[in-house]
């Protein structure tokens, strides 16, 4: 076991998911620090043990504190990256500048791939902090439900089996169960790719179609996710697990999903600018659709659903028109991938 309760854990990111994961960690570690960007938000967490902008009506444990100072990471036994994907490189650069110990495990909990390079978040972290042990964490886990102690399950992945086993213990409570895997790429890709299909599911709901259409979307989305995920380095069986079909289902059917809400608004006739302003939080599927579309084109993988969402978001194609094109493509047999 690499960790003990007297140690200090740090979560980079004080949004809804960073806060919920901090609550999970607080059941093992005596001290958990959330690193945020807003001094007023950190003052609220420290004074009132709430984070109402992200998790209203949730009381945080007393052993969770918040800070805007990255120096808090220097004595951490464990550091989680729970940031928008666009902020991961900057945060890893900051940690490298500070000079955290090379023994400190770093866990990526962000879901996306980098625009341009097409690389995963753990690869960015490893590039900038090459000596630190790396792991990833993902699964069908909405912050609103985890923070309410509703039963949830996730998966932690690492090539370092001892680290994975230790993290499994840290990330397991009476309401939160964690499994292990060594397919780091597959876990990250499942979490990233599902965002695009969540937008598609929301669009279907917003247009006013029914359960049949969403079931078809989830089923064909899984085939598309698996096809592209394998091409990008994941293993087939991982996409049948928690970070694949599990995360895909919860985000396509749940109103907690920001990506789903974006899609629903687009299907109802709002513009992307209008819904982004109203949402007030990052919906990772929007920038990730662009980076994932680029990755699919680079590897010449057939991705009709991803293509349709890309056209709606970035080419201003009407949602109804994109849907008709999806349904009237050339007919073909159903295949597993």
pLDDT of residue 116: 84
Q: Do 129 and 245 reside in the same domain of the chain?
A: no
Any known ligand binding at 284? yes
194 labeled part of a ligand binding site: yes
CATH number of the domain residue 252 falls in:
1.10.1040.10
Whether 256 and 275 share a structural domain: yes
Among 62, 74, 194, 332, the active-site one is 194
In a shared domain, residues 160 and 245: no
4 is annotated as contributing to ligand binding = no
Residue 210 within any structural domain of the chain: yes
Q: How many domains does the chain have?
A: 2
pTM here? 0.93
**Does residue 117 form part of some domain?**
yes
282 is in an annotated binding site: yes
Do residues 171 and 230 share a domain? no
Per-residue pLDDT of the chain (337 residues; tens, 9 = 90+): 789 999 999 999 999 999 999 999 999 999 999 999 999 999 999 999 999 999 999 999 999 999 999 999 999 999 999 999 999 999 999 999 999 999 999 999 999 999 888 899 999 999 999 999 999 999 999 999 999 999 999 999 999 999 999 999 999 999 999 999 999 999 999 999 999 999 999 999 999 998 999 999 999 999 999 999 999 999 999 999 999 999 999 999 988 888 999 999 999 888 888 887 777 665 788 889 999 999 999 999 999 999 999 999 999 899 888 888 888 888 788 875 4
Tell whether 39 and 175 lie within a shared domain.
yes
According to the annotation, is 223 in a ligand binding site? no
CATH number at residue 167: 3.40.50.720
Q: Please indicate, yes or no, whether residues 165 and 244 belong to a single structural domain of this protein.
A: no
Q: Write down which residue in 132, 161, 182 finishes a domain.
A: 182
For this structure, is 194 an active site residue? yes
Say whether both 56 and 27 belong to one domain: yes
Domain boundary among 182, 215, 246: 182
**Contacts (Cβ under 8 Å, ≥6 apart) of 100:** 73, 74, 76, 79, 129, 132
Do 177 and 214 share a domain, yes or no? Answer: no
Q: Specify the pLDDT at position 280.
A: 67
Q: Of the candidates 156, 182, 208, which is a domain's last residue?
A: 182
Q: Quote the CA–CA distance of 237 and 226 in Å, as a whole number.
A: 9
250 and 160 together in one domain: no
218 and 159 within one domain: no
Range of the domain at 164: 8-182
Does 336 carry a binding-site annotation?
no
In a domain, 290, yes or no: yes
One domain for residues 172 and 198: no
């Amino acid at each position: 076991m690499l960790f003990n309760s007297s140690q200090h854990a740090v979560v980079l990111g004080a949004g809804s998911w960073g806060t919920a994961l901090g609550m999970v960690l607080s059941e093992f570690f005596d001290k958990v620090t959330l690193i945020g960007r807003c001094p007023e938000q950190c003052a609220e967490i420290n004074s009132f043990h709430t984070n109402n902008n992200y998790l209203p009506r949730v009381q945080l444990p007393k052993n969770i504190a918040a800070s805007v100072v990255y120096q808090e990471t220097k004595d951490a036994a464990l550091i989680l990256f729970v940031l928008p994907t666009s902020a991961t490189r900057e945060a890893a650069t900051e940690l490298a500048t500070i000079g955290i110990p090379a023994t400190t495990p770093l866990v990526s909990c962000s879901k996306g791939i980098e625009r341009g390079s097409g690389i995963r978040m753990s690869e960015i972290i490893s590039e900038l902090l090459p000596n630190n042990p790396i792991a990833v964490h993902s699964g069908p886990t909405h912050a609103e439900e985890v923070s309410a102690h509703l039963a949830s399950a996730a998966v932690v992945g690492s090539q370092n089996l001892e680290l994975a086993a230790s993290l499994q213990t840290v990330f397991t409570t009476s309401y939160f169960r964690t499994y292990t895997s060594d397919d780091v790429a597959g876990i990250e890709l499942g979490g990233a790719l599902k965002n695009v299909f969540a937008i598609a599911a929301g669009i279907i709901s917003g247009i006013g179609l029914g359960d049949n259409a969403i079931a078809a979307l989830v089923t064909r989305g899984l085939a598309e996710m698996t096809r592209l995920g394998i091409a990008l380095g994941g293993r087939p069986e991982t996409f049948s697990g928690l970070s694949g079909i599990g995360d895909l289902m919860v985000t396509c059917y749940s109103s907690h999903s920001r990506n789903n809400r974006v899609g629903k608004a687009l299907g109802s006739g709002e513009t992307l600018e209008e819904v982004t302003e109203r949402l007030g939080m990052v919906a990772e599927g929007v920038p990730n659709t662009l980076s994932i579309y680029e990755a699919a084109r680079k590897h010449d993988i057939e991705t009709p659903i991803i293509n349709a969402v890309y056209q709606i978001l970035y080419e201003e194609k009407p949602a109804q028109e994109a849907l008709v094109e999806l349904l009237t493509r050339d007919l073909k047999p159903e295949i597993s991938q």
